[in-house]
Amino acid sequence: MFSGCGGMDLGFRGDFTFLNKHYVRLPFTIVWANEINAAACRTYRRNFQKEIICGNVWDFMQSMPEADVLIGGFPCQDISINGKGAGIQGQRSSLYKAMVEAIKIVKPRVFIAENVKGLLMRHNRTSLLKILEDFNALGYNITYDLYHAADYEVPQSRERVFIVGTAQDAGTFAPPQPLLSKDNWITAQAALADLEALEATPEINHIWSQANRSSDQGNRHLEANKPGHTIRAECHGNIQYHYKLPRRISMREAARIQSFPDDFIFEAKLRETERQVGNAVPPVLAWHMAQAVRTFLDKSRELCHEPRRI
């Protein structure tokens, strides 16, 4: 659900290479996907060679098949610290309710709901408790943790909450353990250095915004020896500047910071590509989460040896 361009789906599928490391194919098969943004749907179809239902999730929910795993990053704009503070009463973040209804239909062994760190902030406490209450009412064991993407081989300082629900008879979910520490996080320079001499190349999304300098994010630079700053979806061209070159980072560079492989091409112009990249779950982080889900399902001894379906 809420597939966007497919960052979380790519992580669960696996079989991609990022920064010379291959993330192996995992035993999950995508059987249903939905996204409302038409440009993101075009990107999804191109990169997955698979159909995605493009439209309002409420209109297509009855077409969902049963599956072992249900995943989705429900919209966060009303919860984000950069949003309007409406919480789950907002039009977008209230869409977690669609996940609640979908779980009733799909009856997964595991579900994963991803959202921003802001969900854990004090002013969103009521929203968090309501979300947990509604998920708990479905009869699942619920846990949630805050993940720092840089701990999981993503060259970005990005913190996100993953809420995990597991069937009550399936044991306890163990979250993936961090692989890196602050001392050996992948830096922006390590992720982007080979692109420094490359001229603008629209075919691979290596294009950048010419927006004038502005306050806050609009004047922020990458630091060569640190992971990239959080890639935002609604930066309106004010995406961060390169650590060395006199320009803002390109969409290909932003995709690198989000851990997308270079052969993942975005079917959109610059502004829409910004939105797709910024909204995505980093595929490498999702891959590590998928590994933990795989381990959990294997230990539950409830599944046969057929490919898992998400």
Whole-model pTM: value is: 0.92
More confident residue, 300 or 87: 300
Cβ count within 10 A of residue 265: 16
Tokens 């353990």, located at residue: 177
State the pLDDT at residue 84.
Answer: 54
Q: Which residues pair with 248 in a beta bridge?
A: 241
- Residues 193-206: tens digit of each pLDDT: 999 999 999 999 99
For range 160-179, the mean pLDDT:
94
pLDDT for 196: 97
Most confident of 37-51, 82-96, 106-120: 37-51
The CATH code of domain 7-182+282-309 reads 3.40.50.150
Contact of 80 with 17, CB cutoff 8 Å: no
Which pLDDT value is given to residue 309? Answer: 65
Residue 77 pLDDT: 53
User: Is the model's pLDDT at 244 over the cut of 80?
Assistant: yes
pLDDT tier at 215, thresholds 50, 70, 90: confident
The catalytic position among 41, 76, 235, 304 is: 76
Look up 5 and say whether it is catalytic: no
The 3-state secondary structure of the chain reads CCCCCCHHHHHHHCCEEECCEEECCCCEECCCCEECCHHHHHHHHHHHCCCCEECCHHHHHHHCCCCCEEEECCCCCCCCCCCCCCHHHCCCHHHHHHHHHHHHHHCCCEEEEEEEHHHHCHHHHHHHHHHHHHHHCCCEEEEEEEEEHHHHCCCECCEEEEEEEEECCCCCCCCCCCCCCHHHCCCHHHHHHHHCCCCCEHHHCECECCCCCCCHHHHCECCCCCCECCCCCCCCCCCCECCCCCCECEHHHHHHHCCCCCCCCCCCCHHHHHHHHHHCCCHHHHHHHHHHHHHHHHHHCCCCCCCEEC
What does the alpha-carbon distance between residue 71 and residue 74 come to, in Å, rounded to a whole number? 9
Rounded Cα distance between 41 and 49, Å, is 11
Q: Answer positive or negative: Cα dihedral of 115, 150, 148, 24.
A: positive
Hey, which residues does 251 pair with through a beta bridge? Answer: none
What pLDDT sits at residue 123?
A: 82
- The pLDDT value recorded for residue 236 is 84
Q: What pLDDT digit, counting tens, does each position of 65-106 carry?
A: 999 999 999 875 555 445 455 444 544 447 889 999 999 999
Identify the pLDDT of residue 58: 93
Lowest-pLDDT range, 70-79, 99-108, 152-161, 266-275?
70-79
At residue 234, the pLDDT reads: 85
